[in-house]
Amino acid sequence: EPEVTQTPSHQVTQMGQEVILRCVPISNHLYFYWYRQILGQKVEFLVSFYNNEISEKSEIFDDQFSVERPDGSNFTLKIRSTKLEDSAMYFCASSSRGLTNYGYTFGSGTRLTVV
Amino acid sequence: QQQVKQSPQSLIVQKGGISIINCAYENTAFDYFPWYQQFPGKGPALLIAIRPDVSEKKEGRFTISFNKSAKQFSLHIMDSQPGDSATYFCAATLNTGTASKLTFGTGTRLQVTL
């Protein structure tokens, strides 16, 4: 079964440093998403991306965050200057259509720890 | 208005018992209500989903009951098994066709004991 692949599985970074979280969506999917889950809390939407531009972003997704599809296979989330409160599990998801009932698939996540 | 409220926060059920998790939503425009199962260290995986024009959907041991007038829906796990021990999230979405997002509930940690 096709998978969304995320790397690294765990990243530790110092406060103020830039981090890039990487995702390889399912190959024929066109819509891409990032979600965040702070330990013990609910999964929260960050941003959606389609046709090389952001479709929607949440209040969490401020100027410190950016997304990019640098080539035909990768989808990245960059946090420019990490804060302690950015420590969370970050999930990438992709879907074949812009509908949540069409193969909306999550990756296993990257655990980001900011120290 | 975008919130989805979920209860209980945690649940312990004996093997063979019925697990029931409840959710309530506010936005009547939501048009799709999935349940996700998450094991430690893994991403949420779609378990079962329902549309608001249906009152019940059953897939194996998993059933969603949907009450549109009350704006509530619930997940029932029949004959609960230790392998069902996981965190369950209800979610809701408004499918606009332009990269629709999921709004998740706060999660229920289910433990099925022997």
Around B7, how many Cα atoms within 13 Å sit in the side-chain half-sphere? 4
Q: How confident is the model at residue A19 (pLDDT cuts 50, 70, 90)?
A: very high
Q: Where are the domains of chain B?
A: 4-113
Q: Which residues of A5-20 are buried (b: 16+ CB within 10 A; e: fewer)?
A: ebeeeebebeeeeebe
Residue A94 sits at the chain B interface (C-beta within 8 Å): no
Which among A54, A74, A83 has a CA at the least distance from the CA of A4? A74
A106 contacts on B by Cβ (under 8 Å): 43-45
Res B22 pLDDT > 80: yes
Please write the tens of the pLDDT for every residue from A33-52: 999 999 888 899 999 999 99
What per-residue confidence (pLDDT) applies to B1? Answer: 61
CB pairs under 8 A between A and B: 72
> Which domains are delineated in chain A?
5-114 (2.60.40.10)
In Å, how far is A2's CA from the nearest CA of chain B? 13
Please write the tens of the pLDDT for every residue from B39-66: 988 899 999 999 999 999 999 999 999 9
Please write the tens of the pLDDT for every residue from A57-107: 999 999 999 999 988 789 999 999 999 999 999 999 999 887 767 678 999
* The two three-digit tokens of residue B5, written as one number: 């409220």
Q: Which residues of B touch A (CB under 8 A)?
A: 32, 34, 41-46, 49, 89, 91, 93, 95-107
**What is d(CA A23, CA A29) in angstroms, rounded to the nearest whole number?**
13
- Assigned fold of B4-113: Immunoglobulin-like (2.60.40)
Contact A91 B107 (CB under 8 A): no
**What is d(CA A25, CA A90) in angstroms, rounded to the nearest whole number?**
14
What per-residue confidence (pLDDT) applies to A103? Answer: 74
**What is d(CA B82, CA B60) in angstroms, rounded to the nearest whole number?**
16
Which among B92, B109, B102, B96 has a CA at the least distance from the CA of B25? B92
Contact A42 B104 (CB under 8 A): yes
Contact B95 A100 (CB under 8 A): yes
